[in-house]
Structure 1
Amino acid sequence: MATSPTSDQLLVIIDPVARQTDGESVRIAKDVLSAGAAAKLCLPEGPEEFARALRRRGSRRPVVVGDDRALVRAVTLLHQERELAGCALSVVPVGDSALAESLGVPGGTVAAARAVLDGAERRLDLLVDDSDGVVLGALGIPPAPVRPAAAEPVPVAAGRPWYRSLVRTLATRPVRLSAVPSPGATRLRVEVDGETVVDLDQPVQAVSVTPGPDGVASVEVRPLSVGAEATPLLASGRTVTVTGEAFRYRADAAVTGPVRRRTWRVAEGAWGLTLPADA
């Protein structure tokens, strides 16, 4: 559900990395925002000043001018302060913006700034882990990008309400895996809502978890096949636990680990992002 922003006063926090890498885009963002609203500019020199500015925002709507890491940093800070539910964030991407764009933020500086001024707040799901970290877009184990499989995914245990089959048309050719575990394979137990999707006796090539919509996470487990094409196992649920060999994972723009166990739960509608009104 989208709602109109609650304040026309903006706190524009310009990430130092954005100022260093693309000063022209930063200038354009400042000009558009200042022309359309009462904007207070903040130029933090590091993470501590970034956090301090966000905490002292008062009634102003925070606008992050920066890359995906700056957006995740802002959401994480608000989550840890337990203020995320009452604060709608806006972002004007400068730098790596794959995450922001996947959430619906326009990629162009002018279009993104205008969305801040004329857009609407949309409530989005996220994942919260047992160390109080958050995931806005996607979680991947291992951290390296995973090539899509051409085989049609099938549900693990048909008939159970928390499994859903997905029909996908993929243009890439099937990825053929050998019977011997590759260097990237590991042994993990993946549980969704307490049900085991794959256990430690099955080498795993990759695991991906994506939050929402509707308060559930979509889970795809790619086991290492023996003499056949890899067929992903799909599940969905509100809680995902991964246990086993020490593993690293990519959560949005950051790599974390190694850890031996981690649990993520879906926080439905946990945060608000200003997006174009027609998004």
Structure 2
Amino acid sequence: MATSDQLLVVIDPVARHSDGESVRIAKDVLSAGAETKVCLPDGPREFARALDRRGSRRPVVVGDDRSLLRAVTLLHRRRELGTTRLSFVPVGAALCLARSLGVPTGAVAAARTVLDGAERRLDLLVDDSDGVVLGDLRIPSVTSEPSRCDGAAVGEEVVQGRPWLRMRQTLVRTLAPRPPKPASPPERPARLRVEVDGVTLVNLDQPVAGVSVIPGDPGVAEVEVRPVSVGAEAAPLSAVGRRVTVSGADFRYRADSVVGGPVRTRTWVVREAAWGLTLPG
């Protein structure tokens, strides 16, 4: 049997618990079409160990978007991403990234793609802390932090060792009307400097409502900044480039499904055709 037909199937624990039937179907289809070794890691550490010990087998990740992102990040940081053909069977609730990359989300179709599909080289957005972005990068407005209230914690300490008091507290909570759901904390505009390939797109004197970076043509990303409008609605500012630097007051960002920061500056660089994913031919 050819080396390319030997698969290491790494099944994320979240997928096993959330949709065991889809996992079983994917395993059956893969096992019928190739020599497979199945790994059932219980957490991130065992997940990483399974990839490290794959040998000549082609890795197949079964799980949601986060499991794919985890695999790409591990391979990137081990400098093995460029020489590894990765396959993915999406299983779970969070599959937006899988859809945007063109991976079928049905267990049978995805498993058949692993067996019969072709490798497609995709761009990767890499930041200066060695983090990666497979899809979208977004920087939202700054959310004001609500004030902390430690009363509940103090109450829990008081009732420790007093079952009768805990029972009374539980009864009061049950009978008391539910308090209204607190409103979402207000957002305020962010003040950021956004540079694309060394050219300033927006500076600190212009408050912005958000920044987005999405894949563009091969080797570049599309950057859009939404300025805060005063009176008439302000038109978005856009640019295309390979290197994006954002700086200013502490800000958080969402890279795919992962929130990063706060940081005061971060640079992302597009690496063209940096990784390979099996997609329908």
Asked if 1:206 is matched to 2:206, the reply is no
SS at match of 1:230: coil
Matches of 1:265 and 1:33, distance apart in 2 = 36
Match of 1:250 in 2: 254
**Aligned-pair CA distance for 1:6:** 6.8
Check whether the contact 2:7–2:57 (CA below 8 A) recurs between aligned residues: yes
**Aligned-pair CA distance for 1:231:** 1.2
From 18, 29, 35, the counterpart of 1:32: 29
**Aligned-pair CA distance for 1:143:** 8.1
Asked if 1:17 is matched to 2:49, the reply is no
Match of 2:51 in 1: 54
What letter matches 1:9 in structure 2?
Q
Identical positions, percent: 75
What letter matches 1:248 in structure 2?
R
Match of 2:113 in 1: 115
**Aligned-pair CA distance for 1:185:** 1.3
What letter matches 2:126 in structure 1?
V
Asked if 1:221 is matched to 2:225, the reply is yes
Check whether the contact 2:141–2:209 (CA below 8 A) recurs between aligned residues: no
Matches of 1:6 and 1:194, distance apart in 2 = 45
| Partner deviation per Cα, 1:196-234 (whole Å, 9 max, x = no partner) | 000000001010001343200110110101111131111
Matches of 1:90 and 1:77, distance apart in 2 = 15
SS at match of 2:81: coil
Q: TM-score, normalised by structure 1?
A: 0.82
From 68, 73, 76, the counterpart of 1:76: 73
Aligned residue pair count: 236
Matches of 2:188 and 2:86, distance apart in 1 = 37
From 224, 230, 236, the counterpart of 1:232: 236
What letter matches 1:271 in structure 2?
W
Matches of 2:141 and 2:268, distance apart in 1 = 16
From 104, 108, 118, the counterpart of 2:102: 104
Match of 1:167 in 2: none
From 39, 45, 51, the counterpart of 2:42: 45
Distance 1:143-1:35 versus aligned 2 partners, 3 A rule: farther
What letter matches 2:108 in structure 1?
V
Match of 1:262 in 2: 266
What letter matches 2:17 in structure 1?
Q
| Partner deviation per Cα, 1:103-162 (whole Å, 9 max, x = no partner) | 010111110110000000000001000000000000000289xxxxxxxxxxxxxxxxxx
Match of 1:165 in 2: none
What letter matches 2:127 in structure 1?
D
Match of 2:61 in 1: 64
Which of these two proteins has the greater Rg computed from alpha carbons? 2
Distance 1:19-1:218 versus aligned 2 partners, 3 A rule: same
| Partner deviation per Cα, 1:158-212 (whole Å, 9 max, x = no partner) | xxxxxxxxxxxxxxxxxxxxxxxx7241100000000000000000101000134
SS at match of 2:83: coil
Q: TM-score, normalised by structure 2?
A: 0.82
Matches of 2:3 and 2:246, distance apart in 1 = 39
CA RMSD of aligned residues (A): 1.5
Matches of 2:78 and 2:237, distance apart in 1 = 36
Asked if 1:189 is matched to 2:193, the reply is yes
Q: Point out where structure 1 has 5 or more consecutive residues left out of the alignment.
A: 145-181
